[in-house]
Structure 1
Amino acid sequence: MKAGTQVAIALGLLGASAAAQAQTNVTIYGIMDAAFVGERGGSAGHVNKITSGAGSASRLGFRGTEQLGDGLSAFFTLESGPRIDTGALDANNVLFNRQAFVGLKGKAGSVALGRQYTPWHQALAQVADPFGTGYAGTSKNLFPDSGANVRTSNTVTYSAPTVAGVTVDLAYSLGELAHSADGRQYGGAIGYANGPLNLRLAYNNKNAETLQPGGRTGRNTLLAANYDLKFVKLFAGFNVDKGFNSAPFGNANNPYGGVRPTASTDGRELLLGISAPIGAGTLMASVMHKDDRTAFNQDANAWGIGYLYALSKRSGVYAAYGHINNKNGAGYTVANNSESGSGNTGYNLGLRHTF
């Protein structure tokens, strides 16, 4: 082969490689979060530990997009949950336990298939809760933000294009059991964001895996809002739970001993909160109320406060405190982003780095 031909081939390969790079984008991202956590008030007594992901769950992820032409693109996300305290995974034998999906995005919106967040959880974390469902003040303390309410496998989602500030998200998860309705879950959210105002209404419906035709359903309906006044941001969330397993306890292991509490199948949760820039950091605070409308009347009140101090654009230290007042034998515990907690009081002192 002549030298000129070799050079031409090499230049052609370089050009093809450059074109491919221009069309494809893959990003490695993550959060590394570790904290000293203290828990009090449960039958386990005083618990002190180093925890991974108290503020924001630690994660290592890969996301990518490829431009396919005519406004159409392919995308994917693979996200794992490493524990900084031990080096283990959040879920045994599941590498990408947090998110794993692939999809297409075009002028008519985007469709994705795989393991994904529910629209209900996204409304709680992104709109209603000043703690973003993390730290000792998390909305998880009273809101049913755990298990399949947070993310689901075997899921198809659709997100419509934003029009005049209006967003629409839909999700359907296949139970993949003998009876098609068993284990299935569906939900959606409609939102409006314009200037300082952010509103979102979300719904979640899940069938228990009873292996009986039709199963038993649990439903969650959340109205979330925040309003940015610049010097302070106001947050609010109101949620209605109805039906079997609609509001399971974050810690279902009877953390206070004695008579085991009964998870509500007819309840309401209310959250009011604020966040405010103070110095080089952000102050977060909220108060919550659980109204159990069953015969057990196991209500609860909770409050939390926290401060995230920025060391840089990507690193920060934080402190947070949360407390719950359980009534009539209720079993709610002070959680954080990655753990359900063991008592009615908890605090975190941590360090978070994002990349």
Structure 2
Amino acid sequence: MFFYTHAASAAVGNDSGFVSLYGVFDTSLEITDPGSGWTPRLDSGAFRGSRLGLHGAEPLGNGTSIVFTLENGFSSVDGSMQLPGSIFNRQAWLGASGAWGEVRVGRQYSPIYIPFKGDLDAFGAGTIASGLNNLSKITPYASNAIAYLSPRVAGFSATLMTATRDPSEHDGNGIDGYYATATYHLDGLHLLYAHQQTHGSGALRANLGGASYGFGHLRVWLAFFNGDGGSPLYHGAGGSLSAQYSFSAHARAALGYAHVRDYTTPNGSADQVSAAFEYDMSRTLQLYFSAAYLANHEDSSFTLRGVNVTGLPVAYPGAPVKGVQVGLLQRF
């Protein structure tokens, strides 16, 4: 039920509860040509956002616990905060959890972001290889939010969230947005649908959905996405097809294709083909390699980016973008 990624942690606690320290360091070298020549740079958070966090729980009895998560995003290449002036920019919520599900209150991942980061393509919507990430737009975090995460019943589960308007927006409407996600798991088959509608400045409506199926060493993903709004303005719809093959418990390779129709530009669209390789060097250290080619059509200006990486702007509308990336991801 808890969405935080770590393979090992330093925890303190006793029979009445625990507090766990966890983190992710993700650093990569990227070489990209956005239509004006190859440019090398070091990136932080291309695959999984670099972060430090605290997660804790205290049992109340009858299977119910008070839970919380505080999580800060930072740059692993210069040590700066991901969002200056916000110490817990990724998560800062308090909640209660039990067999009935979980309730969270505060800043947290949006329900549309949770499946987006692992259930819709072979690249985990990360690195320059994910056309799903490069060609779509969603809201990853929500402040002033109240969420309910259901337990899984007969393969079904759902997450519902509403966020109240921040007083700084000076808007009489007290609802800043709502989100909903539904999933179904049956053996190797996974189905999901997610929707969001935010209001106020930069309002964004978005939908995600898809299916994946695993058999033997192979897993295949088929996804669709659309959205309208945001800042800068996004209005597009498309889909992606990808597959991952596991050579062993520690080595995996993936291929993918994605397409988007760009409604902000007359006849605009873009296509991306990608490849990636991951190798678990240890229980907590992962090496990854990504390569991608993105073809913009007409005056579309999509580019290659990562989870917390701003892509290099294209040299001119319609310019093709190509790049390679090698990185290390350390969890604790």
- Give the aligned partner of residue 323 of structure 1: 293
In structure 1, the gaps of 5 or more residues are 1-19, 211-216, 253-262
User: How far is 1:274 from its partner?
Assistant: 0.8
Correspondence 1:275 to 2:268: no
State the match for 1:287 in structure 2: 257
Match of residue 166, structure 1, among 140, 156, 161 = 156
Structure-2 separation of matches of 1:108 and 1:55:
33
Range with bigger deviation, 45-54 or 163-172: 45-54
User: Aligned residue for 2:26?
Assistant: 33
Matched, 1:236 2:241: no
Task: Look up the equivalent residue of 1:346 and give its one-letter code.
Answer: G
1:1-355 equivalences in 2 (<5 Å):
21-42=14-35, 45-138=37-130, 139-145=132-138, 149-176=139-166, 177-181=169-173, 184-209=176-201, 217-242=203-228, 244-245=229-230, 263-265=233-235, 267-279=236-248, 280-293=250-263, 296-342=266-312, 343=314, 344-355=321-332
Q: Which residue identity is paired with 1:40?
A: D
Q: CA deviation at 1:272?
A: 0.6
Cα offset, 1:46, TM superposition: 2.9
Q: Secondary structure of 1:140's match? A: helix
Let me know the Cα RMSD of the aligned residues. 1.9
Moved more, 188-197 or 334-343: 334-343
Q: Deviation digits for residues 69-103 of structure 1, max 9, x if unmatched? A: 12211000111112111011111121111111110
1:174 touches 1:180 (CA, 8 Å); kept in 2?
Answer: no
Equivalent residue for 2:3?
none
> Compared with structure 1, are the counterparts of its residues 183 and 88 closer, same or farther at alpha carbon in structure 2 (3 Å cutoff)?
farther
| Structure 1 runs of 4+ with >6 Å offset | none
Please tell me the residue identity of whatever aligns with 1:323: Y
Shift of 1:109: 1.9
Q: Is the 8 A contact 1:50 1:85 kept in 2?
A: yes
CA-CA distance at 1:33 after TM superposition: 1.3
Per-residue deviation at 1:294? 5.7
CA distance in 2, matches of 1:108, 1:117: 20
Letter in 1 for 2:124: G
Aligned partners of 1:48, 1:151: CA distance in 2, in Å? 29
Contact 1:333/1:340 (8 A) holds in 2: no
Cα deviations across residues 116-166 of structure 1 (Å, max 9, x unaligned)?
A: 111112222221021112111122210114xxx111111110111211111
Taking the aligned partners of 1:209 and 1:128, their CA distance within structure 2 comes to 28
Number of aligned residue pairs:
309
Task: Give the TM-score taking structure 1 as reference length.
Answer: 0.82
Does the 8 A contact of 2:63 with 2:98 survive in 1?
yes
Larger helix proportion, structure 1 or 2? 1
Segments of structure 2 that go 5 or more residues without pairing to the other structure are 1-12, 315-320
In structure 2, C-alpha distance between the alignment counterparts of 1:207 and 1:319, rounded to whole Å: 38
State the 1:181 CA deviation.
2.9
- Rounded Cα–Cα distance in structure 2 between residues aligned with 1:89 and 1:268: 33
Q: Cα–Cα, structure 1 residues 126 and 318, in superposed 2: closer, same or farther, change >3 Å? A: closer
Larger radius of gyration: 1
Q: Give percent identity, aligned residues only.
A: 26
Q: Is contact 1:125–1:132 with CA below 8 Å preserved after alignment?
A: yes
Go from structure 1 to structure 2 and tell me whether the alpha carbon gap of 1:196 and 1:42 turns closer, same or farther (over 3 Å shift): same
Tell me which amino acid in the other structure corresponds to 1:334.
L
Q: Which residue of 2 aligns with 1:256?
A: none
Aligned residue identity for 1:345: K
- SS of match in other structure, 2:268: coil
SS of residue in 1 equivalent to 2:34? strand
Shift of residue 295, structure 1, vs aligned partner: 6.3
In structure 1, distance between residues paired with 2:265 and 2:19: 53
